[in-house]
Structure 1
Amino acid sequence: MSTDQSRWRVRRFDEAHFEHPTSEPELVALILRARTEHAQLRVRGSAHSVAAAVYTDAFDPESGPVQPGAPVINVMLDRYRGLHFHQSGGVDFVTVEAGRNLGSDPYGPGTTPGDDEGLVHALAARGFALPVLGGISHQTLSGFLGTGSAGASVQHGFHQAIASIRVLDGLGNARDLTPSDPDFAHVGVSMGLMGIVSSVTLRLEPEYVIRGWTSVQRVADCDIDLFGDGDATRPSLKTFFETTPYARLLYWPQKGVERVEIWTAERAAKTPGWKPKPYKQFNTAPFLMQWLVRFLYTRVLPRIDLVPGDADAAMAEAWLRDAITEGFADAGLGAPTLSGPLVDPMIDALAETLADVDDGVDSVKEVLVREMIRLIIALSPRAGGKYERKAFTDTWYDGLPHDNQMDDQLMPVLFTELWAPLDKTPVVMRALRDFWSAGGLEATGTFATEIYAAPPSPFTLSAAHGTPVLRIDPFVFWREDAKPEQDFFPGYWELLRAFDVRFHWGKTLSAPGSTTGVSYRRDMCGVAAWDAWKARRAAWDPDGLFVNAYWRAHLGL
């Protein structure tokens, strides 16, 4: 059955073109078949990565092999999702088959979990928890680990829960690796190139809830010193991340906007009678406008790049009215029923602002972007000189993946993610500030940049190997013709390579031959460590079953 529930090309597929093993022996059989047929073999997780990184060559997830009978085997583990709970020495563990999603994948294959069938729900039902989760929880466990993903915390790392990893190498041999095994460091982040992860055993901890606050503040006077070393009244950003159990920033750098949403949380015991009061995006907007704000954010703002750079006020107003009407049509709705009291006054106010644009300072498009974002990302109220902090409390499994509420279908985005040593936070942030200020809309884009941190990782190819990191994640709204790897992300790559950044493997990478390509990545990893990983990979996969053109190019294999 073809699944076309998302505008993201990587998320469209037909299950009939994939193998669906139900057991480890069936996985081994696929490896041996690939050897016999001299075929490539790749395993799809939730397909949250770049499509070329996920699948074999000469394969389309909707239509299958480009040529009938091509020697390619693409695998889904949606029927290999078992759990085995056990105890050892008074410690609780769970062994998870690799196809289990962490949470729910609303656009996965037919048998992937619903709202209460992910790993996190199975753990919570038994009173257990994991130390951290990423901003979303759609991924499979093996995909989350294999791409080097992480949660929004310096104090808590997902790798801290890993007791062992079981991998099937390119000869069909099962290898059980614990943190004391030297090869554990090579396997943990390996993008499916060292073999098929069969299962992961996780060390569990007692269930907890999180309590925190969120606040939208001006960059100039926010509660954190974003660009310096902090003082008696405000922590530096580095200190903020180090001392806050869970935290992230969503930074809107556009001229005239320059505001940041701060999200922080800490653990708390789940007491009798406790009830969740979840974090919600747009909670600074007046209640009656929240529906409109969410609509503008998901249906209108992503279209704003279609406004010509030389548009005049009349063109911009016409575009805005058309975009709102088209957005309602896309949502299966008629014309806005509240057009009179809400939509028309908003457009009229924007039109008046656009009409007053000084052509020598800002373009109409820049003003339109600024005014729309300021409407959507409303500042928190102030009292006594301090910004209001909106409190929330939630389960660990719903509260930590705070971006789950943003739907891939409603709001598809593309992104690159760069990890800099946390010690370089002040200079990195100042470089970004100056880059955004000098570059205008071409540098900032029309969306936000997410900023968070991660702890040191033990894995060779992790972008946090050996050091805590500051993570810079600029977003771009997806369009059919979007090519941010050519016209947007390179500005960030070139700017931040001066600060020894490393790339998240599951996000957009720079070209292999570029100044931040293969040679740069090898240097940042460390030549000896990089070469040791490649040698071990070649030994475990002598026929190159798991290597496609994408990874051959980006890793120099």
Structure 2
Amino acid sequence: MDTTRNFTNWSGSVSCVPEAWHYPADEVDVARLVRQARSGGQALRPLGSGHSSSALVATDGALVSLDRLSGVVSTDPHRGLATVLPGTGLADLGSALAEAGLGLENFGDVDYQAIAGAIATGTHGTGRDLGNLSSMLVGGRLVSGTGEVVRFGTESDDSDSDDSLLRAVQVSLGSLGFLTSLTLQVRPAYELRRTNWMTHIDWVLEHYAELVASNRNMDFYWYPRSDLAQVRMLNEPGQEPDLLPPGRLKRDETGPSYEIIPNRREIPFEEMEYMIPLDTGLEAFRQVRQRVRERHRDRVGWRVLVRTIAPDRGMLSTANGRPTMTIALLHNATLPYRDYFSDMEPLLRGFEGRPHWGKKHSATAERLAPLYPEWEEFGRWRRELDPDGVFLNDHLRALLIGTPSSPSASAAEIWKER
């Protein structure tokens, strides 16, 4: 146990002073910590890489790092399954699976996160037919708020409740328990060719539907000050589309999928991202573009990132039940972002937008509940697995219950600038 460290997230905008840090070595250690915390009335929060820019981790209780629970436990190429430990970094996971001839179906924009944190927050990449990372979770084990080990999905013997519990765990925000083992659906290892093109945003909008349909992975950055866009297309070699953007080819490389999909992000940034129904997403982007040009262009030098996600069944997945376009506003972490994000957020909400759980937003339970058809079912699982609220902090109370004990630590904390 460590009682000397404070916590600050990757971008520098979220910090807390936990009363203790714990570094369990295995599932037995995790269960013991939870039982002790429950009996002593202490809160626990799981800590991955600290990449989220929302206050999911912030606590004055104890932080529990799962870094020591890392690695690939087993692989089953015939069934397309891999069992991994929660603290495994995505970059390490990609290379470890490749050694077994396997790969993840997709990655997010970066690979700095631990797998459990990426899944718990609904981290996603891009691709009309590709789900977010949480949709790859098909089973595993978690330690509940009572200190019991609960099996779910492919690891469960209870076929009656299995599917419901799995779908609750897929995006849980760390509120159901500590994941101690994750079974992922994987595929044979594969290569991708990436081509990045610089072109004008008007061409992208005119050809957007065809770009989405003809590429395995496609997204674009819009640069507000130049009105240019960077179109990023990734396809298995030999399956590249005929449609190519007019303009400059900025990048062309081929390699293992786990090396080609993620990008390097050396400069910390703040981000707000909303998930919009795909059929109205383009109109939402057009309105974002207009508002940024009218109100924020002189102060916003960073970009707007647009991606797609396939629908899934995770109860709190931001792609639950609908093909999705994501619109992310990125801003240098050293610059003020509050006015920009708070002005843009109502516009994105107006398109039935669901905020990314791990990024900046000000939504609370009252606004979120109508957006998720199985909101109440998720709440039932949370109360069953964590009856004493061991895994709650003020931010999660605001998100999931709507009764934050301290406004400064809930919605308002999200907008705290560096």
Q: Same fold per TM (> 0.5)?
A: yes
**Separation of aligned partners in 1, 2:399 and 2:213:** 32
Q: How does 1:330-479 map to 2 (within 5 A)?
A: 386-389=246-249, 390-402=251-263, 405-407=264-266, 411-441=267-297, 445-479=300-334
| Corresponding residue of 1:101 | 89
Give deviations 1:121-151, integer Å, cap 9, x for gaps: 1111222111000011111110000001111
Q: CA deviation at 1:7?
A: 7.2
Tell me the residue number matched to 1:175: 150
Distance 1:16 1:128, change over 3 A: farther
Residue 176 (structure 1) shift: 1.7
Contact 2:95–2:258, Cα closer than 8 Å, also in 1: yes
The CA distance in 2 between the partners of 1:37 and 1:17, in whole Å, is: 14
Residue aligning to 1:21: 24
Question: Aligned pair 1:190/2:172, yes or no?
Answer: yes
How many Å separate the matches in 1 of 2:53 and 2:252? Answer: 36
Aligned to 1:341: none
Please give the alpha-carbon distance, in whole angstroms, between the structure 2 residues aligned to 1:394 and 1:82. Answer: 23
- The 1:16–1:543 alpha-carbon spacing in structure 2 relative to 1, beyond 3 Å, is closer
1:487 to 316, 321, 339: 339
Percentage of matched positions with identical amino acids: 24
- CA RMSD after TM alignment: 2.6
Distance apart, 1:206 and its partner CA:
1.3
Q: 1:266 aligned to 2:235?
A: yes
Query: Residues 6 and 505 from structure 1, CA distance in 2 versus in 1: closer, same or farther, beyond 3 angstroms?
Result: closer
The answer on whether the counterparts of 2:14 and 2:55 sit within 8 Å (CA) in structure 1 is no
Instruction: Write the distance in 1 (CA, Å) between the matches of 2:186 and 2:126.
Output: 19
Unaligned runs of 5+ in 1: 59-71, 104-117, 270-384
- Distance in 2 separating the partners of 1:190 and 1:483: 30
Deviations 1:378-407 (A, max 9, x none): xxxxxxx942434321221111112xx221
Residue type at the aligned position of 1:204: V
CA deviations over 1:67-91 (Å, ceiling 9, x no partner): xxxxx22110111113222438x32
Mapped partners of 1:531, 1:14: distance in 2:
32
Per-residue CA deviations over 1:237-288 (Å, capped at 9, x if unaligned) read 244224311111111122xx1000000011239xxxxxxxxxxxxxxxxxxx
Pair 7,457 (structure 1): closer, same or farther in 2 beyond 3 Å? closer
Q: What is the CA–CA distance in structure 2 between the aligned matches of 1:16 and 1:83, rounded to whole Å?
A: 31
CA contact (8 A) 2:10 2:53 kept: no
Q: Residue in 1 aligned with 2:201?
A: 219
What is the one-letter code of the residue matched to 1:533? F
TM-score with structure 2 setting the length: 0.85
Unaligned regions of 5+ residues in structure 2, if any? 155-161, 239-244, 403-418
The superposition leaves residues 262-316 of structure 1 with CA deviations (integer Å, 9 ceiling, x where unpaired) of: 00011239xxxxxxxxxxxxxxxxxxxxxxxxxxxxxxxxxxxxxxxxxxxxxxx
Preserved CA contact (<8 Å) 1:238 1:423: no
Give the corresponding residue for 1:163: 138
Matched-pair contact (CA < 8 Å) for 2:273–2:360: yes
CA distance in 1, matches of 2:9, 2:183: 32
Length-normalised TM-score, structure 1: 0.65
Question: Would the aligned equivalents of 1:11 and 1:47 in 2 still touch at CA under 8 Å?
Answer: no
Closer/same/farther in 2, CA of residues 167 and 6 from structure 1, 3 Å limit = closer
Amino acid at match of 1:551: L
Question: Which structure carries more strand by proportion?
Answer: 2
CA–CA distance in 2 between the matches of 1:198 and 1:181? 19
- Residue pair 2:309, 2:324 contacting (<8 A) in 1 also: yes
CA distance in 2, matches of 1:420, 1:488: 19
SS of aligned partner of 2:163: coil
Separation in 2 of the partners of 1:209 and 1:239?
23
In the alignment, structure 1 residue 80 sits paired with structure 2 residue 69 = yes
Distance 1:131 1:5 in 2: 31
8 Å Cα contact 1:147/1:191 also seen in 2: yes
Measured at CA, do residues 40 and 9 of structure 1 come closer, stay the same or move farther in structure 2, by a change above 3 Å? same
Contact 2:272 2:356 in 1 (8 A): yes
Match of 1:130 in 2: 104
Query: What secondary structure sits across from 2:90 in the alignment?
Result: coil
**Counterpart contact for 1:44–1:55, Cα < 8 Å:** no
Larger radius of gyration: 1
C-alpha spacing 1:245/1:24, structure 2 compared with 1 (3 Å): same
**Which of 357, 375, 387 is equivalent to 1:542?**
387
Once residues 441 and 136 of structure 1 are traced to their aligned partners in structure 2, the CA distance between those partners, rounded to angstroms, is 26
Distance 1:440 1:3, change over 3 A: closer
1:240 corresponds in structure 2 to: 211
Structure 1 residue 523 and structure 2 residue 370: aligned?
Answer: yes
Q: Which residue of 1 is the match for residue 45 of structure 2?
A: 42
Q: 1:214 to 1:130 in 2, by over 3 A?
A: same
